Every structure is written in structure tokens, then in C-alpha cells.
Structure 1
Amino acid sequence: MLLPLPAVTVRALSLESHTALAAVIAGHATAPVVTRLLKTLYLTWFLQQGMGELPDMDTFRTAEAALALCSRCVREGREWRLAEAGRVALCRILALNDHLLASAPAYCHAEATRRLRMLATSRASSSDLR
């Protein structure tokens, strides 16, 4: 558990995220694509915290806002374009995610994944109440 994730796992996770970002940048976002990027965003946040690092709040907020707008437009069937600030923020998040996946101990990844599941469960529960 002290070793990082296997390289093949890191590459697969990275490829999923980078493919999703490429689709969003090209204007081909779907709900699963946006969800993949949101998972990457929050997993990166939790991994960085688990490594004892302070996340760059502005970058995370900008990326989250860009994905929220994208998600809303996808749900409503509206045209949209990813703003430059959102693209830059998401690229930074994915680069950080790649670094953390390759270097964080497996137990940090497991804990970050657990926290991501808890977040998803709490959001699903709260949206059921609305």
C-alpha cells in the first residue's frame, strides 16, 4: 500500500480523463464525459489533500464552474463552448492528477476514492430530496 499505483492503472485512468477533456474541448461533451472530468477533479482534490498539499483553490473553482456550466448546457441540449479559463484550469487539473496518480501511495488513492464515493452518495441523496 506504500507503493504507487501500477503504471498500467495510472495510464488507464489518465487516458480516460484526457480523452474526456479532449471531447469537451472539441465541443462533444456528454453527461458521462462531464461526469468523468468531475470525478477526476474531485479525486485530484482529495489526492492532493491526502498528500498533505494545499490545493490551488482558484484553479479548482474555475474548473468546477466550467464543468457545471457544461453539464447544465448538455442537460438542456444547448450549444456551448469551453471558455479559455476553464480549458486552462482543466488542463492544469489533469496534469496534477497525472502527477499524483503516478506518485501517491496506493493507500492515498484508496482513501481519495473512498471520499469521492461518499461525495457522490451525498450529492445523489441530496438531489433526491429536491
Structure 2
Amino acid sequence: MLLPLPAATVRALSLESHTALAAVIAGHATAPVVNRLFKTLYLTWFLQQGMGELPETEAFRSAEAALMLCSRCVREGREWRLAEAGRVALCRILALNDHLLACAPAHCHAEAMRRLRKLATLRALGAPSDLP
């Protein structure tokens, strides 16, 4: 559990996130695509905390706000365009996610996934964001 995730797993997870971001940037946001980016956002937050690093709160907040707006537009069937600040923040989060997936010990990833599942359950019950 002290070793990082297998390289093939890291590549697959990274590809899912980058493909989702490319779809959102191109204006092809769907609920599963936006949910994938939310998952990446919160997983990155939890991984960074698990590694003992202080997360860049502003980038996470900006990315979360952009995804919240996108999610609302998708639910309401409205057209969606990602603002530049949201795009920049999401790109930063995905780059950080790539780095953390490649170097975080497997036990940190497992704990981050546990926290992500708990957050998903709480959010389904109406709890607010986990970001400060």
C-alpha cells in the first residue's frame, strides 16, 4: 500500500478526467461528464490533504463554482460555455490530479476514495460542499 497506483490505472483515470474536461470546454457537457469532473475535483482535494499538502483553495473553489453552474445549466437544458476562469482552474486541478495519482501511495488513494464516497452520500442528502 506504500507504492503508488499502477501506471495503467493512473493513465486510465487521467484520460477519463481529461476527456471530460475536453467535452465541457467544447460545450458538450452532460450529467455524467460533469459528475466525472466533480469526482476528479474532490478526489484531488482529498488526495492533496492525505499527502499532507495544503490545497490551493482558490483554484478548487473556482473550479467547483464553474462545475456547479455547468451542472445547473445541464439540468435545466440550457446552453453551456465554460468561462475562462473556470477553464483555467479546472486545468490546474487536472494537472495536480495527474501528479498526485502518479505519486500518491495507494493507501492515500484508497482513503481519498472512501472520503469521496462519503461526500457523495452526504451531497445526495443535501449537504454543502466539503471545500472551506
Band the TM-score falls in, shorter-chain normalisation: over 0.9
In structure 2, runs of 5+ residues without a counterpart are 128-132
Tell me how far apart the structure 2 counterparts of residues 125 and 73 of structure 1 sit (CA, whole Å).
21
2: CA distance, partners of 1:80 / 1:20: 14
TM-score (norm 2): 0.95
Q: In 1, are the aligned partners of 2:29 and 2:80 still within 8 Å (CA)?
A: no
Aligned counterparts of 1:126 and 1:47: Cα–Cα separation in 2:
23
**Corresponding residue SS for 1:126:** coil
Runs of 4+ with >3 A deviation: none
SS in structure 2 at match of 1:28? coil
Matched, 1:43 2:43: yes
What is the number of residues matched between the two proteins?
Answer: 127
Post-superposition Cα deviations, 1:5-34, rounded to whole Å, max 9, x if no partner, equal: 000000000000000000000000000000
1:65 Cα offset (Å): 0.2
Question: Secondary structure at 1:5's aligned position in 2?
Answer: coil
Identity %: 87
Q: Which letter does structure 2 place at the counterpart of 1:104?
A: A
One-letter amino acid of the counterpart of residue 16, structure 1: E
> Which residue in the other structure is 1:29 paired with?
29
Q: CA deviation at 1:79?
A: 1.0
2:63 partner letter: A
The structure that is helix-richer by fraction is 1
Give the gaps of 5 or more residues in structure 1. none
Structure 1 Cα separation of the partners of residues 56 and 88 of structure 2: 13
Matching residue of 1:9: 9
Q: Which residue number corresponds to residue 100 of structure 2?
A: 100
